[in-house]
Structure formats: structure tokens, C-alpha cells
A and B are shown apart, each in its own frame.
Chain A
Amino acid sequence: MNTLRVSWLYLKLGVLNELQYRVNFFVSLLQMAIALVTGLVVLALVYSHTQELNGWTKPELLCVLGIQILMGGLIRTWIQPNMTRLIEEVRDGKLDFTLTKPEDSQVLVSVREVRIWQVVDIISGAVVLAVGVSRITTNVGVGDAIAFALALLLGAVLIYCFWLVLATVAFRVVNMWHAVELFDGIFQTGRWPVGIYPLWLRFGVTFLVPIAFAVTVPAEALTSRLNWETLLFAFVFASVLFGATRWFWRFGLKRYTGASA
């Protein structure tokens, strides 16, 4: 309960903060439009040379694109800003202020930042997804929709865990910036269903960086490709990783001695 209250407070604070910079909203909007048009042109180009890609039709890949944009928006609104701030504060010693607060430290470092303008990505992703779904010829049933929502949630949890582990490593390795850049590059693999990648890469974007769970699995749910074993596996994987991440965070914190201050 407390967790929710603190998150809500920080969300309000973040909104108030960003409302001061209204022009940024239009810049975000323009950037979103450019990225979206580029994505659609790439899709059109691919399907001007083929009817289907590894069994996925164009509307189905439109769903994949929508989910990838939506998930990317979610990451840039909450996960990434918080984690980069954490990495930064470990380096210049400001993290100590947060650790002295009488609240769970993992909750605090995970909800402090909200980039509200990035929500345009979440919305545009949802629109692309809706257009994709409306063009799919097979019926999307209620069961598919529930499985999709569940898969999306699990995917978000997995991505969050991945980022927190990465940021926790910053307690020991000061320069984690390159890892951030590396993630941005690798997240682009989510534009396409992971089935097209060679085995080594498929393994990497499934278990090392859980992009397959964040994008492809929800898309499979919508296109009636998902079997319940996969969903169950995603659930178990997310639970285990969440527990492990919490343990790792505490472990990292225990060895943290503060930088300056």
C-alpha cells in the first residue's frame, strides 16, 4: 500500500515538474511522428518484396511494431529515467540521501523519475496496435486479450528486473553508460518476431535481455500463436527473476559504502 502511495506522489511530482516545459511536449510529439512514419515505411518496404515474413503477415507485424513502440514508451517514461538516475547518483554520492529515507530503497529508486511527455509513445504504440488488430483476419477472442495483457505485464516486469540488475552492477563498476547504449541498440530487435533470428541471437534476446518476452510473446498472444506453456513459463521466469533481482539489490546495497558526501 505504502509502495503505491509513494509511487503516486512521485508521479504527481513528475507531472508538475514536466508541465513547466510545455514546448518539450511538442518536440516529443514531432519526434514520435518521425519515428512512427519511419517504422511504417520500413514495414511497407519489406512487404513490397514479400507477402509474409517467417509466417507473419503485414497486419500481424503492425501489432509487433505497436507493442514495441508501446513498451519502448513505458521504458522511457519510467524504467530508464529512474535507472540512469540511480547510476548517476552512485557515482556522485547523492544516492546516500535516498538511502536515509524511511522507505524501502528499491521502491524509492524505482519510482522517483517520471518523464511524462514520453507517454506519447505509449499512446501512439497503442494506436498502431489497434490498427494492426483491426486488420488481422483471424478473430481476437477474449482469452487472447487476457493472455496479451498478462504477457505485456510480465514483459514489463522482466525488463524492469533486467534494468535494475544492470544499475545495481553500477555499485561495483562505475561506468555503466555503455550498457545503456547497448540496450537501446538491442531493443530494436523487438521490431521483428524473434523467430527470424539465428539461434544464438534468439537466446540472447530471450534470456539475457528479455525483449522476446516483452514484445514477441504479447504479440503471439494477440495472433493466437501463444500456447499456455509459454505464458506459464514467462510467469515463472518473471517471478524468479524478480526475486533474484530483489536479492541482488540488497546484496549490492550491503556492499555499498557511499561515494562522497
Chain B
Amino acid sequence: MVDLYLATMRMAISEQFQYRTANYFYMLGMIAEPVIYLVVWTTIADQQGGSVNGLTAGYFAAYYIVWTLVRNMNIVFGAPYWEHRIREGDLNRDLLRPILPLHYDIAYFAGWKVVVIVLWIPLAFALSLLFDPSLSPNAQQIATFAIAIWGAYLIRTMFQESLGMLCFWTTRGAAIFDLYMATELLLSGRLVPMPLMPEWVQQISRFLPFQYAFYFPINSLIGDLSGPELLRGLGAQLLWILIGFGIFRVAWRFAIRHYSAVGG
């Protein structure tokens, strides 16, 4: 199993480095989203004498620059691609292998992430010059962040793959996937740092996985969480990974029983 992961990751790394221009274009396209949020909230902070709910322009800059890395880590084998996999018959090949397609997806995208992180560094540097973030993490925070971005990656993988199981029953899941993404946008910290949300929204999202794949990793680096709080966050991530994996296993068992091959 470890060999398989290492081999797949190595393959993904060399494959994706060949497409570095394509990867860069993709990353540049994604930069628009956080830059828009950042500009809007910086404008509001400036209008109100420097801060919104105690969050300063420098904090917003740091938040949305770190956001870009977390968002890139969050790109996984998405639910809509299951439709493609089934329709084109790729799944038949995958099923012949002695391991779950899930493991292959995790390994492949994990390898890709290595490329993404390398490509991200100059981008983050440029954004820092443009927006002047205030960022001073200690060693403990950096270590937590380094683990938390991979936790975020796994959480999102598990839930997206589970959702993808819907494709075994319908070819029109697009609206459901959109609904999921919209919920995630609002409850994860992708749109705004969680403290800007109304109190009741924050309460709800405490019991959902979304913010552990977005707000927690970002906050672990730029916030002021104590040692125990950081550990508790990582623990929550682990819990959600296990829950997500459990959901996937159950959904997978039903899905594969329902499956009859298409194409070839």
C-alpha cells in the first residue's frame, strides 16, 4: 500500500510538472476569488477607521493570501468527475485493480499538491508585495499549519468522493453539487473569516466538517490559537476524516452493487 502511494505520487509529480503552464493558468484564475473578497473587506475596514469586528486590513490580507494555498490544497477528485468516470467507462479499468479507486485518487492528488505548493510560493510572494499582510506565526503554529493543510485535503477528499457516489444513480447531480458548494462557501470560512458571520451561523458550523477544511488551517497560521487549541483542531480534523471515510465506505458498497458497466 505504501509503495502504491509513493509510486502514484511520484508519477503525479512528474506528470504535473510537465503541465506547469497549465497549472499556473489554473492557479491564476483562482486568485480572482480571494482578491475580490480581500478588496471588499479591506474597503469596509478602511471606511470604518481600520477594522471590521476587530479584524484589520493586514489580517484580511494575511487571511486571503493563506487562503490561496488552502484552497489549492482543497482541490480533490471532485464529485462531478465521478459522472465522467462512469460514463467513459474508466471505472471498469479501475475496478479491475485490487485496491479502491479512492486510494489511487488520494495518492495522485497528493502528488499533484507537491507541484502546487512549489508553484504557489512565487504567487504568494507577489500577493504579499501587493497587499501587505500582517503575519507573525511561531514555530508551533507553522508546524500545525503544515499538518492541517493535509488534514483539510483529506477531509475534502472524503466528502467529495462520498458525494460523487450519487453519480451511480443520476447523471444530473449538478444542482446537488452546487448546493453543497454553496453551503460550503458560507459555512467554511471560504467567503469570510468565521468571526464575521452571525453568531448562530458560527454555532452551526462548529458541528460540521466544512470549517476544518478552510477556516481552521488558515486560522492556525495567522490567528492566536494556543497550543491545546491547535491540538484540538487537529483532533477534530482527524475525527472528520474518519467520519468521511466511514460514509464513503457505506456509500461505495451500495453504489458498486448498483453499478452496471457502460462503455469500455
Using a CB–CB cutoff of 8 Å, the interface residues on chain A facing chain B are 23-24, 27, 30-31, 34-35, 37-38, 41-42, 45-46, 48-50, 52-54, 175, 178-179, 181-182, 184-186, 188-189, 191-192, 196-198, 200-201
Contact = CB atoms under 8 A, between A and B. Distances in A.
Contact of B25 (A179, A191, A197): A179
B119 interface: no
Contacts of B30: 185
The 10 closest A-B pairs by CB, nearest first: A178-B25, A30-B175, A185-B29, A185-B32, A182-B29, A181-B29, A38-B182, A50-B44, A34-B178, A196-B43
Interface stretch (B86-94, B147-155, B190-198, B254-262): B190-198
Given A178-B25, A197-B39, A53 B174 contact: no
A27 B25 contact: no
A135 to B, nearest CB: 21
Interface stretch (B47-55, B214-222, B232-240): B47-55
Contacts of B143: none
Interface in B217-231: none
Given A49-B53, A188-B33, A181 B25 contact: yes
Interface size class of B (residues with CB under 8 A): 20 to 34
B202 to A, nearest CB: 13
Contact of A196 (B40, B48, B179, B186): B40
Contact of B28 (A27, A35, A182, A192): A182
A175 B175 contact: no
Contacts, number: 85
Contact of A198 (B130, B178, B192): B130
Nearest to B23: A178
Looking at chain A's contact residues, the main secondary structure is helix
A188 B36 contact: yes
Contacts of A41: 186
